[in-house]
Amino acid sequence: MGTCRQGPLTDIRILDLTRVLSGPYTAMMLADLGAEVIKLEQPKIGDDSRHFGPFSNEESAYFMSVNRNKKSITLNLKSPEGKELFKTLAGQVDVILENFRPGTMEKLGLDYKTISQINPKIIYASISGFGQTGPYSRRAAYDGIVQAMGGIMGITGEKGGKPVKIGSSIGDIIAGMFCATGILAAYIHLKKTGEGQYIDVAMLDSQVAILENAISRYTVTGKVPGPTGNTHTSIFPFETFPTKTEDIMIAAGNDVLWCKLCDALGCPELAEDERFCSNPKRGFNHDEMFALLCLRLAEKPAEEWAAILDKAGVPCSLINTIDKVLENEQIQSRDMIVEVDHPIVGKNVIAGIPIKMSLTPGSIYKAAPSLGADNSNVYQELAGLSVRQLDDLKKSGII
């Protein structure tokens, strides 16, 4: 926690038009590292996610989880006055971020081509389901659609079972992370050359980019990868095992760790067994290996095995539910669960900042804003509007 905006990005000002998750996640990452993020929302309604449960004092916990460290202003972009005010703001920021369906900003007359004539140095980033080009570009998309189309559902789930969506909204979040990377790269280019540019990030592209070895496995073997449960497809043993009480995750990622695992389990002979003495052989004889390890692991509770394996230097973990995650001493020690004071909700528990920097650390210094909380300050500072002008705009529904 901090008390003010800090970090390596304090000289970047972002006008954030995004809603729900992918874009707000991008903006939150940059805000955590010091960027000034001005979240622009529709008057009276705001970001769609303000209406997603669960709620605390009528405030959305979903919205609060990805919109910290931001300012909120409201503006009707369909009105002529709203468009002109947007253009004024666009001339005062470094980055514009939006995740409307492709074509929306062009219809509004607020697309990159138009805005770059007002502010040639602008970095204009768009996140969409399928990108600004291609036959699917105008299709609507949500996280589940992209997970299904992008192949990640096809390799997730129990072995032999139906494909399963990943529990986290990885389609949105990964696109958000790639977009944040793109914005930072564009900002470096801007500092070097004075040139702004357009960034096009697609959720579908982002899903394909994280398929890692699934693409290689198919192109090399010709076999279509399917769900394998908790078993790794290339490293053995690297999966969950039943114990006397509950499952435990064990990852013996190389032959040295395999030997340590066998010693810790009290079956050193398996390390020398010709069937299991190398990773390829363990993969070929996986079912036999798995069955033999299960016999040993069934003798003790999971917590006891976790302590034994950890002492032996074998990577392992109990399978934590979310309540256990919040209680975990390692997670707590690195400030990954924090409390912020929300003006309506009070104490709001959210995830911390995962990027730890020695010289220019970021900070979580404010909770997610209420709708339009910063209208007065932002419009007075960046657009030079008077209190009376703001009152008139509010009465007419422009802000």
Give CA–CA dist 260/216, Å, rounded: 30
10 Å Cβ neighbour count for 265?
A: 22
Place of tokens 């003495």: 277
Query: Which is it for the CA torsion 315, 316, 322, 325, positive or negative?
Result: negative
- For the chain, strand residue ranges (E) read 13-16, 36-41, 55-56, 59-60, 70-74, 95-98, 123-128, 197-202, 238-241, 248-251, 316-318, 337-342, 346-351
Sorted by sequence, the CB contacts under 8 Å of residue 245 that are 6+ apart come out as 301, 302, 303
- With CA atoms as reference, report the closest residue to 203 among 340, 50, 20: 20
3-class secondary structure, 55: strand
Catalytic residue among 47, 172, 200, 205: 172
Amino acid at 246: E
**Residue 224 tokens, joined:** 């279509």
Place of tokens 């050359």: 193
| Strand-pair partners of 348 | 340
Give CA–CA dist 29/355, Å, rounded: 9
Sorted by sequence, the CB contacts under 8 Å of residue 297 that are 6+ apart come out as 241, 242, 243, 244, 248, 265, 305
Question: Any idea what DSSP says for residue 12?
Answer: -
Query: Which is it for the CA torsion 283, 287, 288, 291, positive or negative?
Result: positive
Is 172 known to be catalytic?
Answer: yes
Place of tokens 């043993």: 237
Total residues belonging to the chain: 399
Evaluate whether 44 touches 119 at the Cβ level (below 8 Å).
no
Catalytic amino acids?
Answer: 172
